[in-house]
């Protein structure tokens, strides 16, 4: 057999050894880089794959009445989220999920697009999952990479308080609206945020702080173990204690019945709102979770506008209550003596004019002075005496009382109304389209272009009750410290005369507010009725007033839209409320308490 000797010279050996040494050196250096130099980077990546962070939630703060009764609490439910970068096949997975939770695929896609904020952030695509749906999703865990279900709290309202506008409601937020919110609260698209009422006003207090828990998972994303070392606890929101008395609130709501209007009561010395009813209303529970589109369309198309909180945003002519502005102007400028008399024959024609302005009482009130004119709400008396004033002084006094401005009550979306001045009239009607004497005839009766809100009327009567000094700003949050409106520099004599006239409104048989009178020798009641003409239908019926018992002062405003006469319609309702407060010992609590 032929054999050939296999020989390699020293050069080839050295070359081979060099290559081998070089490769091993590169591997060692690379190993050193990965295991030592870049250890933290790769360790973090491995931890990201091994450990999954999960956001945890605490309950939103409760809303309670002044006695601790829960008006708004939380109801636990479950939501479904998806992290985009973990999904394998969106169309296929959405189809499978749709079949499990009975939500159309196009709805899931719509929500995903609306609330998606990035590939690595969970996106809420469904709410109110049932236990059976959760079980099915868990059984098919491997088919749904990136999908997670989480506990989520919705609002649950007390059965009687569910129609109270001031509570407000929650709405889902999208990625655009998040920019307007407090970044420290870490909102994400699809979550619920206070949208109206107290829920919006006190969002930062009621809102919980989120936590984080870390879960160890395997390569398939299945949970193996809870890691507790780095977890961050979630903390519940603060409870909101209201000044509202639920019993009085319910009673006021029942008194108003199905009539559109407003009833507000307050403790004058503290500024606390005891009841605030706005009718018609709507069931706040429709905003739990997702709002059905048909329900929403039905509400916003309702001609009675149930979404409007008439207490703070309803705009109405003030009617005869604004005769008080004329009275104080006349007294402060010493234009009249309250005992001076004039004749009301049922109508009035301004000097040099053929126009006729009628009194509400066709046959007239006969001879009246300031006291009887206020008590009987005589229009002719004010038609004549307002001619002694100028427009600027009347407007200034009205605005000093807070009309044409916010009351600063702790609710969002309050309207300022309108007390028109000469600039307004010129811009609206032209330089020669109005006259000062003419508009004063309307304004002294609270008519024409004047618009006020019921909450402004409450502030108005509170200022009168305390003679314009140390009047607390109205509030619904019981724990909010008191602050005060600017004092009015009106003399004591003017206040005394006005209050005597308002006392006669309720306590004299000829007074228009006699139906609000409550037989109680220790009770002093003051008020003013108004019948505000309304171009859209029947007049609005007003009653504003306050009463004093045992050194406590309570105020109330009653407005019945298209109700008719203030004395005939609003005053009896006011009388029932006064009885409720006076004879309910739980309500007659000293304002010095706390």
* DSSP result, 248-264: HHHHHHHHHTTS-EEEE
Instruction: Judge if 577 and 444 occupy the same domain.
Output: yes
In the predicted structure, residue 202 carries a pLDDT above the cut 80: yes
Scan for tokens 């000829």, then name that residue. 510
Confidence band for 228, pLDDT divided at 50, 70 and 90: low
Last residue of a domain, one of 184, 206, 241: 241
Scan for tokens 């601790």, then name that residue. 68
Instruction: Judge if 234 and 253 occupy the same domain.
Output: no
551 falls within a domain: yes
Instruction: Judge if 557 and 425 occupy the same domain.
Output: yes
**Could you tell me the residue range of the domain that residue 436 belongs to?**
246-583
List all residues 6 or more positions away from 344 whose beta carbon is below 8 Å from its beta carbon.
359, 361, 364, 365, 366, 367, 368, 373, 378, 379, 380, 381
* Residue in 516, 407, 389, 512 with CA at minimum distance from that of residue 452: 407
**Alpha carbons 239 and 58: distance in angstroms, whole number:** 13
Instruction: Judge if 143 and 222 occupy the same domain.
Output: yes
Instruction: Judge if 256 and 220 occupy the same domain.
Output: no
What three-state secondary structure class fits 594? Answer: coil
593 falls within a domain: no
Last residue of a domain, one of 241, 271, 305: 241
Take residue 461 and report the two structure tokens written for it. 């009567």
177 falls within a domain: yes
Confidence band for 5, pLDDT divided at 50, 70 and 90: low
Q: What is the pLDDT of residue 349?
A: 87
Burial class (CB in 10 A: 0-12, 13-18, 19+), 416: middle
38 falls within a domain: no
34 falls within a domain: no
In the predicted structure, residue 280 carries a pLDDT above the cut 90: yes
Q: What is the pLDDT of residue 591?
A: 38
Last residue of a domain, one of 213, 241, 269: 241
Question: For 125-153, what is the mean pLDDT?
Answer: 81
Q: What is the pLDDT of residue 530?
A: 96
Instruction: Judge if 475 and 375 occupy the same domain.
Output: yes
Q: What is the pLDDT of residue 593?
A: 32
Question: For 275-289, what is the mean pLDDT?
Answer: 86
In the predicted structure, residue 594 carries a pLDDT above the cut 50: no
128 falls within a domain: yes
Q: What is the pLDDT of residue 590?
A: 39
* pLDDT tens digits, one per residue of 536-567: 889 999 999 999 998 899 999 999 999 999 99
* pLDDT tens digits, one per residue of 142-192: 778 888 887 778 888 988 888 899 999 988 787 778 777 777 677 777 778
* pLDDT tens digits, one per residue of 502-514: 999 999 999 999 9
Strands (E), 401-490: none
Q: Which residues does residue 147 pair with via DSSP β-bridges, in sequence order?
A: 82
| CATH number, residue 368 | 3.40.710.10
If one compares 132 and 46, the residue with the highest pLDDT of the two is 132
**Alpha carbons 70 and 58: distance in angstroms, whole number:** 18
Cβ 520 vs Cβ 556: under 8 Å: no
Alpha carbon 321 to chain centroid, angstroms: 27
Q: What is the pLDDT of residue 428?
A: 94
Instruction: Judge if 195 and 259 occupy the same domain.
Output: no
* pLDDT tens digits, one per residue of 377-393: 999 999 999 999 999 99
Question: For 110-115, what is the mean pLDDT?
Answer: 82
Instruction: Judge if 433 and 527 occupy the same domain.
Output: yes
* pLDDT tens digits, one per residue of 296-309: 788 888 888 999 99
pTM for this one? Answer: 0.84
Average pLDDT, the chain: 87
Cβ–Cβ contacts within 10 Å for residue 361, how many? Answer: 15
**Number of domains making up the chain:** 2
Confidence band for 76, pLDDT divided at 50, 70 and 90: confident
Instruction: Judge if 397 and 513 occupy the same domain.
Output: yes
| CATH number, residue 146 | 3.90.1310.10
Q: Between β-strands 272-279 and 261-267, what pairing exists: parallel, antiparallel or unpaired?
A: antiparallel
* Residue in 99, 130, 125, 103 with CA at minimum distance from that of residue 113: 125
226 falls within a domain: yes
Instruction: Judge if 147 and 119 occupy the same domain.
Output: yes
150 falls within a domain: yes
Instruction: Judge if 578 and 535 occupy the same domain.
Output: yes
Cβ–Cβ contacts within 10 Å for residue 267, how many? Answer: 23
Instruction: Judge if 227 and 256 occupy the same domain.
Output: no
């Amino acid at each position: 057999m032929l054999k050939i000797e296999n020989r390699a010279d020293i050069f080839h050996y050295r070359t081979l050894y060099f290559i081998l040494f070089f490769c091993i050196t590169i591997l060692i250096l690379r190993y050193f880089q990965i295991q030592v130099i870049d250890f933290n980077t790769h360790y973090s990546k491995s931890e990201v794959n091994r450990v999954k962070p999960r956001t945890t939630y605490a309950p939103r703060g409760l809303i309670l009445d002044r006695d601790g009764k829960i008006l708004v609490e939380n109801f636990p439910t479950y939501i479904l989220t998806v992290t985009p970068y973990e999904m394998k096949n969106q169309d296929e997975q959405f189809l499978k999920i749709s079949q499990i939770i009975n939500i159309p695929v196009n709805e899931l896609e719509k929500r995903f697009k609306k609330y998606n904020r990035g590939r690595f952030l969970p996106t809420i695509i469904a709410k109110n999952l049932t236990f059976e749906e959760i079980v099915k999703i868990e059984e098919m865990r491997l088919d749904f990479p990136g999908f997670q279900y989480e506990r989520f709290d919705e609002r649950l309202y007390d059965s009687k308080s569910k129609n109270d506008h001031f509570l407000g409601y929650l709405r889902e937020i999208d990625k655009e609206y998040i920019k307007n919110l407090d970044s420290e609260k870490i909102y994400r698209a699809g979550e619920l945020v206070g949208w109206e009422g107290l829920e919006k006003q006190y969002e930062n207090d009621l809102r919980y702080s989120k936590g984080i828990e870390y879960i160890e998972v395997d390569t398939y994303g299945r949970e193996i173990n809870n890691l507790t070392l780095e977890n961050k606890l979630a903390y519940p929101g603060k409870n909101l204690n209201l000044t509202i008395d639920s019993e009085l609130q319910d009673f006021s709501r029942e008194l108003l019945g199905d009539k559109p209007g407003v009833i507000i009561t307050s403790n004058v010395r503290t500024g606390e709102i005891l009841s605030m009813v706005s009718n018609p209303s709507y069931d706040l529970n429709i905003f739990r979770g997702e709002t059905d589109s048909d329900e929403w369309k039905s509400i916003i198309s309702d001609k009675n506008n149930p979404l409007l909180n008439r207490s703070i945003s309803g705009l109405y002519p003030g009617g005869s209550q604004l005769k008080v502005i004329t009275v104080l102007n006349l007294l402060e400028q010493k234009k009249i003596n309250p005992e001076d008399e004039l004749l009301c024959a049922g109508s009035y024609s301004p000097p040099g004019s053929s126009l006729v302005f009628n009194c509400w009482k066709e046959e007239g009130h006969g001879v009246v002075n300031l006291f009887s004119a206020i008590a009987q709400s005589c229009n002719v008396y004010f038609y004549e005496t307002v001619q002694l004033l100028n427009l600027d002084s009347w407007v200034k006094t009205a605005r000093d009382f807070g009309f044409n401005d916010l009351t600063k009550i702790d609710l969002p979306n309050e309207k300022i109304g309108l007390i028109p001045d000469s600039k307004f009239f010129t811009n609206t009607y032209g330089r020669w389209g109005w006259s000062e004497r003419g508009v004063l005839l309307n304004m002294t009766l609270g008519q024409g272009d004047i618009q006020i809100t019921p909450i402004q009327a409450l502030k108005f009567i509170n200022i009168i009750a305390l003679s314009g000094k140390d009047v607390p700003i109205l509030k619904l949050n019981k724990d909010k410290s008191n602050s005060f409106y600017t004092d009015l520099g009106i003399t004591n004599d003017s206040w005394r005369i006005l209050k005597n006239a308002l006392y006669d409104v309720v306590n004299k048989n000829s007074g228009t507010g006699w139906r609000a009178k409550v037989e109680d020798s220790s009770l002093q009641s003051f008020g003013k009725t108004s019948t505000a003409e309304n171009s859209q239908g029947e007049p609005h019926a007003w009653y504003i007033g306050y009463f004093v018992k045992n050194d406590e002062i309570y105020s109330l405003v009653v407005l019945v839209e298209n109700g008719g006469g203030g004395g005939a319609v609003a005053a009896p309702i006011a009388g029932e409320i006064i009885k409720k407060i006076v004879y309910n010992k739980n309500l007659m609590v000293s304002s010095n308490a706390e």
